[in-house]
Structure 1
Amino acid sequence: MTHRFPIKEIARQAGLGPATVDRVLNNRAHVSAQTRMRVAAAIEELEGQEAQLAAKGRRLFFDVVVEAPSRFSTEIRLAAEQVIPSIGPAICRPRFIMQEIMEEQDVIQALNRIAKRGSHGVLLKAKDTQKVRDAVDQLTSAKIPVVTLVTDIDVKSRLAYVGVNNAGAGRTAAFLISKLLRNASGKVLATRSHERFLGEEEREDAFVAALKHSHPQLDVVSLQGGSGVNRETSKLIEASAADLNNLRAVYSMGGGNQSILGALDDRGLKPDVYVAHDLDRENRELLEQRKIDFVLHHDLSGDIANAFRTFLSYHRLTSSFEGPTISTVNVVTAENIPTSSPHLQQRALL
């Protein structure tokens, strides 16, 4: 059993004699399983105490780099500020770089600046391109851990992914639409904010496969672009209106739902089922007005807390965190909208 603590210190923590602890550590005979468990637990407790002492008063900076519409980046900022006080004894400070549309070079420049000035962790939501992957590799080589948020980057060097199970979300959307449309035929509009967001690609692939299996008579019309920004998304819908006759459903993976609904309404198109993602203020209002039917929601605050705890674990400032878990998809309707979380209440005062 590996350890770095004096035998007497382990013995005091375990409430055992030093000789007994020595027999356990050297794997000698005539030691009960319960005694071995007490020694292992004592070492784990000492590691936790050591991590707390190391972290106490230490100042850490986490950089949050996000390409997203302002309605969603605001959710991320407020969620980060909400969870920071609860993640550990260290003094953690988030720094934000957020834009509605970030070209590849914008992301690279931001990550290069972070590498130059230093950081204790980067939480990244960006398009999956080769140059972004290379920049993530460079950060990792500089001992700056990278965790991706909501949409992943296809690079092994990133430390972890936090966010929703995107394939599961796509299958859930297909399930909801197929149950409500039953034997109907027609078109289903599937919108993504950009072709290079890997998370949205995973959603769409799973959605199309599941819908084809359950309802082959429904034709999926896929649109990509707009970055979830209302004006650009509206233009995208307007340019594709001719392909949307007999529209039965919409699965919106990348936002801009107010604009999608407006553009469809201008052409007399009213889908029977509308499934969206993320319970931001716009989608909350659309649910309340019953203009959309379902929002696939996940615990954003929990995702960000998982990311920050992953950074602490990377720097050996916590010993009990086992790593982030993928968020569960929750289906929200007009009948079960959650009460406002603290960061949503804070935003309402801004």
Structure 2
Amino acid sequence: MRERKKPSKIHQMTHRFPAKEIALQSGLSTATVDRVLNARAGVSPQAKRRVETALRELEAQEQQLSARGRRLVIDVVAEAPSRFLREIRSSTERALSTFRPLSIRARFTFHETLSVPDCVAELVRIAKRGSDGVCLKARDVPEIRNAISDLTMRGIPVVTIFTDCPSSQRTAYAGLDNYKAGQTAGYLMSGLLNGADGTVLATQSDRGFQGEEDRLDGFRQQFSRSRPDVPILEVGSGAGLNRRTAEAIEKAYEKGTRIIGVYSMGGGNHGVIKTLTQFRQKPIAIIGHDLDEDNVDLLRSEALTLVLYHDLEQDMRTAIQHILAHRRVLPNAPPDNSLSDIQIITPLTIPDRYCP
């Protein structure tokens, strides 16, 4: 018995586009398109692929056109110092403008400090009132992971930003590779110290943030490899706020300790420098994160040696793309490995956007 020929992939594909439109999109003749769509003989593999590609492109364009009349609302929930929250807001607004003519509105829920119960309560409120997606900067703890799962079960995508909750059911993560950032800081610190003896101070805003834990792990691993003789004094719970960071350092500092370097993962750098000055400490190198207004001022005055920077606008654009792809407004989500580049900013290389 003669084996029946399997129908081609194109023949099985449903579509609602006229052959003329597919021909225009693919660059083929209408007759060739008709032969491909009806699985007739004498069609090259290249022609089939071009028709398949044209159909995918037309479907994506149709989705975008249908979304133009739709108003999307996303929620941005973050716990961070006010100076960094301002950067998140402005970066989000710039990122949203790149999706025009789509109409996307952001609702911001910002707190300098946000307890775990309060964060969970906010996510529960979002779940009840509805949202097209959530961009979330929060601590990686079981209660918040459970709240993320609840949002996901309700069909609301959650993209963690800048710091991840990797074991949650979040849709994606948008930000930098924090472990590699810590390794970069460790590599730079060991070179900047140039063999000096003493102690390196490493400060975090809160140990509940997975991103800062990853930075610290990367820093420890890289720095200790080249300078195993230099102890690391770890200080947390400053919330990235100047006063609280200063108080945390005062409690941890032991008289007679020589601080030769500082790796500040969570901010509060005015507090760091003020406290070390009170203890008559003048570190050889101070490495910070992010170009918020405090760090830009400290870089200009050369109080900071350098800052590890990632483009917040690009991070927010990536997060929004994940949400739009989940909502089928965009055909594809960014690749899972699309993390931000780590940029090293010195007093001489501050981007123009941050200059007066």
Pairwise TM-score range, normalised by the shorter structure: over 0.9
Structure 2: runs of 5 or more not aligned? 1-8
Q: Which amino acid aligns with 1:92?
A: I
Aligned to 2:162: 150
Q: Does 1:79 align with 2:91?
A: yes
Aligned to 1:4: 14
Superposed displacement of residue 87, structure 1: 1.8
Q: Does 1:139 align with 2:151?
A: yes
Superposed displacement of residue 240, structure 1: 1.2
- Equivalences for 1:94-243 in 2 at 5 Å? 94-242=106-254
User: For 1:19 and 1:307, how far apart are their aligned partners in 2?
Assistant: 42
Q: Is the 8 A contact 1:63 1:94 kept in 2?
A: yes
User: For 2:346 and 2:256, how far apart are their aligned partners in 1?
Assistant: 25
SS at match of 2:231: strand
Match for 1:305 among 313, 317, 324?
317
Superposition TM-score, scaled by structure 1 size: 0.92
- Equivalences for 1:253-268 in 2 at 5 Å? 253-268=265-280
Q: Does 1:52 align with 2:64?
A: yes
Q: Is the 8 A contact 1:61 1:119 kept in 2?
A: yes
CA distances 1:179-209 after superposition (whole Å, capped 9, x unpaired): 1113222211111111110000000001001
Superposed displacement of residue 154, structure 1: 2.7
SS at match of 2:352: coil
Q: Which amino acid aligns with 2:210?
A: L
CA distances 1:8-29 after superposition (whole Å, capped 9, x unpaired): 2534533445664465457776
- Equivalences for 1:330-341 in 2 at 5 Å? 330-340=343-353
- Deviating more after overlay: 8-17 vs 85-94: 8-17
- Equivalences for 1:27-38 in 2 at 5 Å? 30-38=42-50
Superposed displacement of residue 158, structure 1: 0.5
SS at match of 2:163: coil
User: For 2:34 and 2:179, how far apart are their aligned partners in 1?
Assistant: 50
Match for 1:296 among 308, 312, 319?
308
Match for 2:339 among 304, 326, 349?
326
User: For 1:283 and 1:272, how far apart are their aligned partners in 2?
Assistant: 17
Superposition TM-score, scaled by structure 2 size: 0.91
- Note closer, same or farther for the CA distance 1:191–1:131 as it changes in structure 2 (3 Å cut): same
User: For 1:106 and 1:244, how far apart are their aligned partners in 2?
Assistant: 41
User: For 2:82 and 2:14, how far apart are their aligned partners in 1?
Assistant: 48
Q: Is the 8 A contact 1:184 1:217 kept in 2?
A: no
Superposed displacement of residue 259, structure 1: 0.2
Q: Which amino acid aligns with 2:341?
A: T
- Deviating more after overlay: 80-89 vs 258-267: 80-89
Aligned to 2:3: none
SS at match of 1:337: coil
- Note closer, same or farther for the CA distance 1:292–1:11 as it changes in structure 2 (3 Å cut): same
Q: Is the 8 A contact 2:321 2:334 kept in 1?
A: no
Match for 1:251 among 263, 282, 301?
263
CA distances 1:243-280 after superposition (whole Å, capped 9, x unpaired): 77121100000000000100111010111010000011
Radius of gyration: which is bigger? 2
Superposed displacement of residue 62, structure 1: 0.5
- Note closer, same or farther for the CA distance 1:306–1:316 as it changes in structure 2 (3 Å cut): same
Match for 2:75 among 49, 63, 67?
63
SS at match of 1:71: helix
Q: Which amino acid aligns with 1:236?
A: A
Q: Which amino acid aligns with 2:211?
A: G
By relative contact order (CA 8 Å, sep 6+), the higher-ranking structure is: 1
Q: Which amino acid aligns with 2:295?
A: N
User: For 1:226 and 1:198, how far apart are their aligned partners in 2?
Assistant: 15
Q: Identity across aligned pairs (percent)?
A: 42
Q: Which amino acid aligns with 1:76?
A: I
Superposed displacement of residue 340, structure 1: 1.5
SS at match of 2:73: strand
Q: Is the 8 A contact 2:183 2:219 kept in 1?
A: yes
